[in-house]
Amino acid sequence: MDTLLDQPVLVLNRLWQAINTCSARRALALLYQGHAQVMATDGSSNYLTHDFSSWRHFSLSNPEPKMLQTISLRIRVPRIIVLCLFDRLPKKEVKFTRHNVFERDKNTCQYCGNHFERSDLNIDHVLPRDRGGQTTWENVVCSCITCNTRKGNRLPHEARMQLLRKPKRPKWRPFVNITFAGGIDTSWTHFIDLAYWNVELGE
């Protein structure tokens, strides 16, 4: 039972935005106290919420191979809970990473406008580094190998090239960094945005 109670549960605020994870033990305590409800699908793509009583009845009519067993009840381990009152959302600034530069520029060379596989893209400094250019959101863009070679150590106008758009720092976005041993429950994928390629770009 301890293993089941230690399973991670995705926590949503009352606007159904992912904010954290907690143990199944904590999730069931919040459910019992009326501070949270369980979210589960009805067998299709529809999501339903359950209070403690409803979840107990749902568990009896839709049993799973592994369920929590006490003297008085058998109950399913929730995978997602929704907080009843909390509606705030933690925010982090978008990390300055290679992945996020490619995301911002939509895997598109900012000089020729063509879409490429990431393996065929470079990070180009609009103002070259040896001419004082910084490695910042405002000075790097996706560039294909051909355009990167053509531009070389010049400014775009010096190479008779033009940027599709001026590079900017992306706006802040909701972000939840969920890491734990054992992977991610498939029922979470609708609600989370996992970061990867998370090495900060630097000078």
Chain-wide mean pLDDT for the chain?
83
Q: How do residues 135-155 score in pLDDT, each as one tens digit?
A: 999 999 999 999 999 999 999
Tell me how far apart the 2 most distant CA atoms of the chain are, in Å. Answer: 78
Average pLDDT over residues 59-63: 88
Residue 47 and residue 37: Cα distance in Å, rounded?
12
Q: Are 191 and 80 in contact (CB under 8 A)?
A: yes
Residue 56 and residue 73: Cα distance in Å, rounded?
8
| pLDDT exceeds 80 at position 44 | no
Cα 136 from chain centroid (whole Å): 22
| Whole-number pLDDT of residue 198 | 36
| Whole-number pLDDT of residue 34 | 93
The residue extents of the domains of the chain are 2-90+174-188, 98-159
What predicted TM-score, i.e. pTM, was given to this entire model?
Answer: 0.51
The residue that leads in pLDDT, 90 or 157, is 157
| Whole-number pLDDT of residue 185 | 73
Region of residue 118 (left: phi > 0; alpha: psi -120 to 50; beta: else): alpha
Out of 1.10.3720.10, 1.25.40.10, 1.10.30.50, 1.20.1260.10, which CATH number does the structure's domain 98-159 have?
1.10.30.50
